[in-house]
Amino acid sequence: EEEEEVEGWHQLYPGHIPTSPLQKALLAAGSAVMALYDPYRHDMVAVLGETTGCLALPNLRDKMKNHPEGYRILQERPRIRLSTLDMARLQGLPDGSLGREYVRFLEDNKVSPDTRMPPKFVDDEELAYVIQRYREVHDLMHTLLGMPTNMLGEVVVKWFEAIQTGLPMCVLGAAFGPVRLSTRKLQVLATELVPWAIRSGLNASCVLNVYYEQRWEQPVESLREELGIFSPP
Amino acid sequence: RALLSPPAGALRALRGLAAGPEMHFGFQSVTEEERRERIYQVFESVAKKYDVMNDSMTLGIHRVWKDILMHKMNPSPGTLLLDVAGGTGDIAFRFINYVRSVRERQLQRKLKHHQNLSWQEIFESYQKDKFNSLGDSQVVVCDINREMLKVGKQKAQHLGYSEGLSWVLGNAEELPFDDDKFDVYTIAFGIRNVTRIDLALQEAYRVLKPGGRFLCLEFSHVSNPLLSRLYDLYSFQVIPVLGEVIAGDWKSYQYLVESIRRFPPQEELKAMIEDAGFFKVDYENLNFGIVAIHSGFKL
């Protein structure tokens, strides 16, 4: 019998699929191509992130470890899911607060925090959480940056995330995302939105070090200031 | 979706007490019932992307293998074929194409002999035969999985196949057909997924007419050591990745490559076919044994 089949027995977390370096390389290439070819394959974007994040993820994890709030997040491992969020309470919060604006964002764009893919190809249990956290916090990025979930908004958020996290998947998304935009949108993107996203990304402290679940009442403006995100154009 | 579970002797022992003998599902150990269920789920989930995946994994070569099977069968018009585990219809459609072209040649030859008839008579005889373009040949596609049959029927409609084609939901281990019914029985890339191969072979024998032929196209064993290593590398490293990228389903394709390794090699399968009562059992390796066609006759 072969040696390869034993891979299946080294599961580090539920959903984990252990992979060889060759498989990761093939997955990275394949998922990149597929994500470009069929933008609706969100699972491919996720796989790309997991297979290329081997440098960026430990980096992020260390940033979190060295920050008091980030450290707490790593310890407590909070998850943003419909089952853990008290939607009624968040809706009742005053306008302009993080909680109220987050719920408004979810409703306006008809998205749910539960559609995030769980990690499969990250070979470290803590790093798997880090990438999971990054995915779940993505919608909050939209809220903080005031960007909708259309192609334009997504690209802007990707630029911000690319600077913030250094994840190759974000960099690729930021670079190739605009390919499908109209010239008018590209203009707005290039002249106003991207420079703002870059400036904010560089200026802001690490967005993964924010325990969002404990700051629902905080006004979005104040959180932006605290983090160092400039007001959206 | 816990397709991979940690090896636990205790767990296995407990399951052993619960229900039935131990079997393999790829490289895992499960009960018979579990194995049937898991395989059903695998094909339910891959059905829509089945054909795309086949082309990607085999770089289109699976089409050649199936063509070779059809040429080996060399059916004449009037043949009644049962294609088991025929899911998406690849064998059935090839069969129809084959008998149709044989029939056309038959008709052309007939026409040549009738050149002394009047225009009217030639026209009428041609019209009459045109409605029998298959020459009464028929193929029954039998599959245990509803999703696969669904895809097959859709394909048939899309490609324009209707005459001489039937779709039946059934289990290879217990076919819903009477004895001595079919001229040919085929099972292409299906017998590997049957839980009790011996029962499937017995059923094949039962439903074939005396003189009928059994044909099995299946992944087999590569004896050449260098090629075997390359094949393993490709199977284990590339195929699950293709499954994830194309079908979003790593695990079903991991199962696929494992099940190929677990399947009996050429000689062993030959012996099993002989045990079921078939005579003149033989096999032909394609691509150095990556695939093999086994053949036997009911006398």
DSSP state of B288: G
Q: How is residue A1 written in tokens?
A: 């019998």
Q: A9 in a domain, yes or no?
A: no
Residue range A110-119, pLDDT digits in tens: 888 887 788 9
Distance (Å, whole) CA B141 – CA B199 = 19
Which of 94-133 (A) contact B at CB < 8 A? 120
Helix or strand run (H / E) with residue B294: strand B291-297
Q: What pLDDT sits at residue B129? A: 61
Distance CA B91, CA B82 (A): 10
Q: What is the pTM (predicted TM-score) of this model? A: 0.79
- Identify residue B25 by its one-letter amino acid code: F
Instruction: Tell me the domain boundaries of chain B.
Output: 40-99+137-298
B168 in contact with chain A, both atoms CB, cutoff 8 A:
no
State the pLDDT at residue A9. Answer: 56
Pairwise pLDDT comparison (B99 vs A90), residue with the higher score: B99
User: What are the C-alpha distances in Å from A24 to residues A39, B184, B185, B241, B245?
Assistant: 21, 45, 42, 8, 12
- Nearest CB among A9, A22, A44 relative to B237 is that of A22
Q: Does B244 touch chain A (CB under 8 A)?
A: yes
pLDDT in tens, A56-77: 999 999 999 999 999 999 999 9
Q: Answer whether B27 sits within 8 Å of A1, measured CB to CB.
A: yes
Tokens of A177: 């995302």
Q: With contacts defined as CB-CB under 8 Å, which chain A residues touch B232?
A: 2, 4
H/E segment holding residue B22: strand B22-25
Shortest alpha-carbon distance between residue B45 and chain A (Å)? 16
Closest CB to B245 among A4, A14, A30:
A30
Residue A16 falls within a domain, yes or no? no
Residues of A in contact with B236 (CB under 8 A): 2, 4-5
Tokens of B266: 């050429």
Q: At what angle do helices B50-58 and B146-159 cross, to 10 degrees?
A: 80
What is the residue range of A205's domain?
Answer: 21-227
- The complex scores an ipTM of 0.82
The pLDDT of residue A6: 41
Q: Running DSSP on this structure, what letter comes out for residue A106?
A: H
Reduce the DSSP state of residue B9 to 3 states and report it. helix
| Contacts A–B by Cβ distance under 8 A | 52
Residues in B closer than 8 angstroms to A2, CB to CB, are: 232, 236, 261
Contact between residue B38 and residue B30 where contact means Cβ atoms under 8 Å apart: yes
Would you state the pLDDT for residue A3? 38
Inter-chain contact B251–A9, Cβ cutoff 8 Å? no
- Whether the CB-CB separation of B274 and B22 falls below 8 Å is answered with no
**Mean pLDDT, to the nearest integer, of A165-182?**
85
The pLDDT of residue B134: 79
Q: Which helix (H) or strand (E) holds A205?
A: none
Q: In total, how many domains does chain A have?
A: 1
Residues B83 and B268: their CA atoms lie apart, in Å, by 23
Q: Tell me, what's the pLDDT at A183?
A: 83
Contacts of B244 in chain A (CB under 8 A): 27, 30-31, 47
Chain A residue nearest residue B259, CA to CA: A5
Asked if A171 is an interface residue toward chain B (Cβ–Cβ < 8 A), one would say no
Domain presence at residue A55: yes
Q: Do A1 and B6 touch (CB under 8 A)?
A: no
Can you give the pLDDT of all 299 residues of chain B as single tens digits? 344 444 444 444 444 444 456 677 777 778 888 888 888 888 888 888 888 888 888 999 999 999 999 999 999 999 999 999 988 999 999 999 999 999 888 888 877 777 777 777 777 766 666 667 777 899 999 999 999 999 999 999 999 999 999 999 999 999 999 999 999 999 999 999 999 999 999 999 999 999 999 999 999 999 999 999 999 999 999 999 999 999 888 988 898 899 899 899 999 999 999 999 999 999 999 999 999 999 999 99
Asked, for residue A114, whether it belongs to a domain, the answer is yes
Superfamily of domain B40-99+137-298: Vaccinia Virus protein VP39 (3.40.50.150)
User: Does residue B236 belong to the interface with chain A, where contact is any CB pair within 8 Å?
Assistant: yes
| A50-60 pLDDT per residue, tens | 999 988 999 99
Contacts of B261 in chain A (CB under 8 A): 1-2, 5
Higher pLDDT, B221 or A4: B221
